[in-house]
């Protein structure tokens, strides 16, 4: 009980000591605040965007694998059958894909066109739903299921309705020549807005039955094979078997592995931002130490008086340390508060991803402010106070009272 009373008393005395040297303390506090500000602001934005990206990738199907042929290789029906015969492979479907342009009102929009058994898309992407119309069957190769942002413009005005014909403009390479091609399909269904726009954006995609790849788009070779595995736990095993099967002839990716890579990138970014913030904390330690050592020198006589009155070396050490910790806590509180505000401001600007000169995707995610993140910032600021204050406090505790009382 007496110890608690003592701690409360010296905390109060510490605050009084800081208010006496207000300007110096404020400048030091500002120096301390930069570290937690940077840490909270940058980390929470990275975490927020990281979570967004991961959730987007994971939403695209955790049990899906896609194979893309290398330039010198063509997938065949034999390959497809071999894949289908692999254990834990639920489905394997070939697809054709192109990047194209469509007119949406007054705008030209960059879109993706997939010719694929469309039901496999619904099986892979959870949350994908039809807003209007229906999914064209495999034989209806002149009909399309279009993404929400193709049927509706940015102001949510409907541009295309069911039964409307939409013209796709794309570039096709054949025999080393590139030619602009046009294809028209009729809209059988419109997808509900999916949201997000990372890696695969259903909102700006036209899905056609598989046959349309050859018959409408005039493509001769499959762009890839889409594989669905029984469960996400088998993805790694199946990928390994596919690697053994195709070697360097195909690139094999899974959304799960992309999510893992994204996780690693986010982890690395977090580490870099944390390291950068640590340098701000290191500068703060030097600032606190400079302020406290000056304070101790100025108060040598006062420290002598305290010792004459019966304060032990440890109590003097604790009192001086309390001042630096108090400064740190104030600086930490200011830094964290500004960091939260800054994170929201930074995140609200959105993050631009430029796929091509025309295709710009802006993703927006809320900063992820967590108890762990805040606690980390608080602990680091306390550490700044302790580290910056420990030497001056130790020095103060070792001042000999008889000498201190003579100090001018």
Partner 1 sequence: MVQVLRIMLREVVVLEDVVKIYKVGSIVTQALRGVSLKIYEGEFIAIMGPSGSGKTTLLNMIGLLDRPTTGRIYIDGVEVSKLGSREIAKIRNLKIGFVFQFFNLINRLTVLENIEMPLIPRGIPRLERVERAKEALLLAGGELSWLPKKPLQLSGGQQQRVAIARAIVGKPALLLADEPTGNLDRASAKIVIQTFLELNKKGVTIAMVTHDPELANCTQKIYVIRDGMIVGVKEPEKSKCILYE
Under the rule (CB under 8 A), what is the footprint of partner 1?
1-6, 9-10, 13, 16-17, 19-20, 301-302, 304-315, 400-402, 405
Q: How far is the CB of 397 from partner 1 (least distance, A)?
A: 9
The DSSP-derived string for 243-262 is HHHHGGGEEEEEHHHHHHHH
Q: How far is the CB of 401 from partner 1 (least distance, A)?
A: 4
For partner 1, which is the closer residue by CB, 53 or 326? Answer: 326
Distance from the first to the final alpha carbon of the chain? 37
Q: How far is the CB of 308 from partner 1 (least distance, A)?
A: 5
Q: How far is the CB of 9 from partner 1 (least distance, A)?
A: 5
Q: Distance (Å, rounded) from C-alpha 311 to C-alpha 112?
A: 76
Q: How far is the CB of 24 from partner 1 (least distance, A)?
A: 14
- How buried is 79 (Cβ within 10 angstroms: 0-12 exposed, 13-18 middle, 19+ buried)? buried
Helices 300-308 & 313-348 angle (0-180, nearest 10): 130
For partner 1, which is the closer residue by CB, 58 or 302? Answer: 302
From the list 132, 101, 138, the residue with the least C-alpha distance to 117 is 138
For partner 1, which is the closer residue by CB, 261 or 308? Answer: 308
For partner 1, which is the closer residue by CB, 240 or 313? Answer: 313
- The CB density around residue 19, as the number of other CB atoms within 10 Å, is 9
For partner 1, which is the closer residue by CB, 5 or 106? Answer: 5
Radius of gyration over alpha carbons of the chain, in Å?
A: 32
Q: Distance (Å, rounded) from C-alpha 381 to C-alpha 167?
A: 60
Q: Distance (Å, rounded) from C-alpha 40 to C-alpha 46?
A: 10
How many residues does the structure list for the chain?
A: 408
Q: How far is the CB of 330 from partner 1 (least distance, A)?
A: 18
Q: How far is the CB of 278 from partner 1 (least distance, A)?
A: 35
Q: Distance (Å, rounded) from C-alpha 19 to C-alpha 22?
A: 5
Using CA atoms, how far residue 110 sits from 150, 169, 204, 375, in Å, is 10, 10, 8, 44
For partner 1, which is the closer residue by CB, 105 or 401? Answer: 401
For partner 1, which is the closer residue by CB, 176 or 310? Answer: 310
Q: How far out from the chain centre does Cα 353 lie?
A: 13
Q: Distance (Å, rounded) from C-alpha 182 to C-alpha 360?
A: 23
For partner 1, which is the closer residue by CB, 13 or 359? Answer: 13
Q: How far is the CB of 53 from partner 1 (least distance, A)?
A: 54
Q: How far is the CB of 314 from partner 1 (least distance, A)?
A: 7
177-191 and 143-146 strand pairing:
parallel
For partner 1, which is the closer residue by CB, 259 or 330? Answer: 330
């Amino acid at each position: 009980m007496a110890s608690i009373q003592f701690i409360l008393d010296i905390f109060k005395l510490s605050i009084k000591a800081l208010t006496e040297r207000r300007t110096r303390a404020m400048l030091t506090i500002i120096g301390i605040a930069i570290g937690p500000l940077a840490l909270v602001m940058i980390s929470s934005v990275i975490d927020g965007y990281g979570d967004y990206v991961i959730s987007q990738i994971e939403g695209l199907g955790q049990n899906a694998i896609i194979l893309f042929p290398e330039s010198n290789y063509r997938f065949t029906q034999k390959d497809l059958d071999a894949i289908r015969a692999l254990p834990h492979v639920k489905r394997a479907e070939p697809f054709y894909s192109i990047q194209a342009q469509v007119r949406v009102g007054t705008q030209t929009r960059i879109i993706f066109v997939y010719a694929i058994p469309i039901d496999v898309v619904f099986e892979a992407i959870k949350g994908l739903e039809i807003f209007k119309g229906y999914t064209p069957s495999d034989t209806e190769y002149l009909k399309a299921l279009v993404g929400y942002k193709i049927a509706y413009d940015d102001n949510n005005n409907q541009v295309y309705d069911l039964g409307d014909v939409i013209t796709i403009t794309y570039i096709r390479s054949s025999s080393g020549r590139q030619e602009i091609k046009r294809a028209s399909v009729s809209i059988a269904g419109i997808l509900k807005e999916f949201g997000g726009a990372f890696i695969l954006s259903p909102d700006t995609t036209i899905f056609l039955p598989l046959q349309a790849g050859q018959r409408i788009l005039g493509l001769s070779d499959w762009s890839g094979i889409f594989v669905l595995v029984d469960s996400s736990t088998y993805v790694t095993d199946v990928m390994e078997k596919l690697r053994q099967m195709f070697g360097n002839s195909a690139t094999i990716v899974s959304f799960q592995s992309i999510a893992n890579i994204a996780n690693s990138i986010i982890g690395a970014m977090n580490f870099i931002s944390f390291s950068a913030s640590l340098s701000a904390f290191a500068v703060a330690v030097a600032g606190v130490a400079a302020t406290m050592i000056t304070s101790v020198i100025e108060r040598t006589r006062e420290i002598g008086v305290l010792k004459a009155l019966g304060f032990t070396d440890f109590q003097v050490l604790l009192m001086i340390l309390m001042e630096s910790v108090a400064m740190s806590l104030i600086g930490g509180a200011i830094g964290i508060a500004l960091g939260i505000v800054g994170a929201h401001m930074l995140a609200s600007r959105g993050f631009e991803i430029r796929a091509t000169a025309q295709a710009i995707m802006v993703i927006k995610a809320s900063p992820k402010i967590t108890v762990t993140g805040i606690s980390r910032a608080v602990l680091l600021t306390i550490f700044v106070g302790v580290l910056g204050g420990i030497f001056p406090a130790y020095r103060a505790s070792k001042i000999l009272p008889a000498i201190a009382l003579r100090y001018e």
